[in-house]
Copies of this chain bind each other. A is one copy, B any other.
Amino acid sequence: MTLDTDTDHNTAGATPQAEPIAQVTPAPRPTAAEAARTLADHQSQATLSTLAIDPAGHPFGSVAPYALLGDGTPVVFISALAEHTRNLTADPRASLLIATSNTFGDPMDAGRVTLLGTASKLADHDVAVAKEHYLSRHPRARAYINYGDFSFWTLRVEAVRWVGGFGRMAWCDPDHYRAAQPDPIVPIAEAALRHLNDDHADALLDMARALTGHPDANRAQAVRVDRYGIDLDIITPRGPASVRAPFTSDVTRPGDLRAATVALTAAARKRFNDD
């Protein structure tokens, strides 16, 4: 549950962080494999990189809508007449880059994952399941779902490169990627962040003071939320800090987020009263 990133990259624009001056509640995070799987699960557009036939072996990027099968294996629906399909037919090595957009900040600080593997055209008896997954993400593809030149291909994932943003990145074990559960709250995370910051700034500040080792925090803003907790940017008299408050209850569906946040606020306030 700990973040298995490496730190092979500078943290751009980093400011010195205030250190905790009180006890910190341990705050688990999604693993890189969970983060990668979550990202792939909630997007539907990717760049397919293949090896060109001419110039031979040259890396070639193209647009590829995709859907995931239950174990995270991507499916694409591509035309035999398109460059990437010609390329894959000659050499099945490929990768899919799946990127989120970062509306507010530097795109280099947005999450993305590269799934590397071997592509293969689905046999007729495997098409039905792939088609169902694909059309549920890409209903417009019904317009050409029966075109004779289009077919379903899967990418057997053999390596996973995840980048969470500046300084957060890792190679993930592909088996961990396949076994990981996508975070259920992604669809509501942005609205939840807005709601927390707009209407519950006092609760966020209590979390920061009681649980993150910064009892002197005087401002706290939620910047990210996942099934395991809330990332906060805080201000203290000793400087700013990026901290994390961990949920104390399980979040397995979007509807659990509200109760988890209420419980976390209660835990923070109880700790104040106990101190």
Interface residue ranges, A against B (CB under 8 Å): 8-10, 12-13, 45, 47-52, 55, 57-63, 65, 79, 81-83, 93-97, 99, 105-108, 110, 112, 114, 116, 140-141, 143-144, 147, 149, 158-159, 161, 163
Residues of the B chain whose Cβ atoms lie less than 8 Å from the Cβ of A45:
107
- Find out whether the CB atom of B79 lies under 8 angstroms from the CB atom of A9: yes
Among candidates B60, B96, B99, B114, residue contacting A95 with C-beta atoms closer than 8 Å: B60
User: How many angstroms from the CA of A97 to the CA of B50 in the assembled complex?
Assistant: 12
What would be 28 A-B contacts, judged by CB atoms less than 8 Å apart? A9-B79, A9-B82, A10-B79, A10-B144, A12-B143, A45-B107, A47-B47, A47-B49, A47-B99, A48-B61, A49-B49, A50-B59, A51-B57, A57-B57, A58-B116, A59-B60, A59-B94, A59-B95, A60-B116, A60-B161, A61-B96, A61-B97, A62-B112, A62-B114, A63-B99, A63-B110, A65-B107, A106-B141
- Find out whether the CB atom of B8 lies under 8 angstroms from the CB atom of A81: yes
A48 to nearest B CB, angstroms?
A: 8
Q: How many copies does the complex hold?
A: 2
- Find out whether the CB atom of B114 lies under 8 angstroms from the CB atom of A55: no
Given contacts A12-B147, A52-B116, A144-B10, contact A93 B58 (CB under 8 A): yes
Among candidates B12, B55, B143, residue contacting A159 with C-beta atoms closer than 8 Å: B55
Q: Which of A51, A79, A97 counts the most B-chain CB atoms under 10 A from its CB?
A: A97
Report the nearest B residue to A144, measured CB to CB. Answer: B12
- Find out whether the CB atom of A95 lies under 8 angstroms from the CB atom of B58: yes
- Find out whether the CB atom of A161 lies under 8 angstroms from the CB atom of B59: no
Residues of the B chain whose Cβ atoms lie less than 8 Å from the Cβ of A49:
47, 49, 59-61
A89 to nearest B CB, angstroms?
A: 15
Given contacts A8-B81, A107-B65, A158-B55, contact A13 B144 (CB under 8 A): yes
Residues of the B chain whose Cβ atoms lie less than 8 Å from the Cβ of A159:
55, 58
